[in-house]
């Protein structure tokens, strides 16, 4: 059993038919759209079979071989040959996962902004579903990331208080880019200046020192592997009133909403593998 295989049986070697392959068999148009890499494990699981998710060059080839009608996302380098700055060694000439990336970095503003962008995309999909009622629309996730808590102590509160959206709204830049700008050895002065300029937050000298020293990661380097980011998130906690339980994927149950044929089954607790059966049944009913 491997947890790295994509589109395979639990033995990690036997390919299993994906929902997109079933749709192709029925002559239904297919598409994969993501704000993350189109060869990431999540989109790949709809169209490819590889023993290890890191084999993104094979994922790219298989997505094209299957003839997915619409492919929109990042990672052009896996579709380009090395001669054109890509990573393909066979020379082929070819042409909202970011919520997860922001939550890995414990960045509240970027997580919320990417979620709002995803919400807009769901709105467009819902409009389409209403005009095409034989379409099954499912909105879900493959996991939660970060364990974001929308509550915390402010600097002067005695009780827990809710998230400060007005403070979060002032963020101009993602924490990922701020930390990139700070580099490997930031000084407390540089940290204070960057946090003020990008996030409109005036942190104290002690807090800036904690970020510059990356104290949180030093306390628990195995669980906090993103340099500087978790120390920054920790310091920002009383200003934004957002806390984080983790820097990686959590075991939280997820929502699965839907509209259209079969969506009435999206109730109560379900194992996520049930979604495949519900989609397959809708595919059968639509033709």
Query: Which residue ranges make up the site for Zn ion (CB under 5 A)?
Result: 100
Distances (CA, A) of 282 to 19, 27, 275, 279: 11, 14, 11, 5
Tokens describing residue 132? 């095409």
CB-based contacts of 48: which residues, under 8 Å, 6+ apart?
6, 7, 18, 58, 59, 62, 63, 66
CB of 229 to Zn ion, least distance (A): 14
User: Smallest distance, Å, CB 256 to Zn ion?
Assistant: 18
Minimum Å gap between C-beta 163 and Zn ion is 22
Nearer to Zn ion, 105 or 241 (CB): 105
Our CB check for Zn ion shows the closer of 148 and 266 to be 148
Q: Judged by CB, which is closer to Zn ion: 56, or 100? A: 100
Structure tokens that stand for 19 in this block: 């929902």
Give the span between the Cα atoms of 86 and 94, in whole angstroms.
10
Give dist(CA 60, CA 71) in Å, integer.
10
101 versus 241: smaller Cβ distance to Zn ion: 101
- What does the alpha-carbon distance between residue 153 and residue 242 come to, in Å, rounded to a whole number? 9
85's tokens: 């700055």
In the complex with Zn ion, the residue whose CB is nearer, 6 or 80, is 6
Distance spanning both ends of the chain, measured CA to CA: 36
From the CB of 261, what's the least distance to Zn ion, in Å?
31
Query: How near is the Cβ of 258 to Zn ion at its closest, in Å?
Result: 23
Closest CB to Zn ion: residue number? 100
């Amino acid at each position: 059993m491997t947890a790295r295989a994509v589109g395979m049986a639990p033995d990690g070697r036997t390919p299993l038919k994906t929902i997109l392959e079933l749709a192709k068999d029925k002559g239904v148009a297919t598409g994969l759209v993501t704000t993350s890499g189109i060869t990431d494990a999540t989109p790949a699981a709809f169209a490819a079979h590889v023993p290890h998710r890191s084999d993104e060059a094979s994922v790219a080839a298989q997505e094209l071989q299957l003839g997915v009608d619409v492919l929109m996302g990042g990672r052009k380098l896996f579709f380009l040959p090395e001669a054109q700055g890509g990573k393909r060694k066979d020379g082929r000439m070819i042409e909202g996962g970011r919520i997860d990336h922001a939550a890995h970095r414990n960045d509240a503003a970027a997580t919320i902004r990417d979620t709002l962008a995803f919400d807009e995309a769901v709105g467009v999909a819902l409009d389409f579903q209403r005009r095409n009622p034989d379409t099954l629309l499912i909105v879900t996730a493959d996991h939660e990331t970060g364990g974001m808590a929308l509550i915390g102590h402010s600097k002067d509160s005695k009780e827990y208080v809710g998230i400060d959206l007005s403070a979060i709204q002032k963020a101009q830049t993602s924490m990922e880019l701020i930390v990139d700008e700070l580099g490997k050895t930031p000084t407390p002065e540089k940290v204070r200046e960057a946090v003020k300029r990008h996030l409109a937050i005036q942190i104290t000298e002690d807090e800036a020192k904690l970020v510059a020293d990356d104290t949180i990661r030093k306390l628990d380097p195995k669980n906090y592997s993103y340099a500087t980011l978790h120390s920054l998130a920790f310091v920002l906690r009383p200003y934004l009133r957002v806390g984080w339980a983790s820097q990686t994927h959590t075991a939280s149950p997820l929502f699965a909403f839907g509209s259209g044929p079969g969506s009435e089954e999206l109730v109560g607790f379900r194992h996520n593998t049930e979604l495949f059966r519900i989609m397959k049944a809708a595919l059968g009913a639509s033709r």
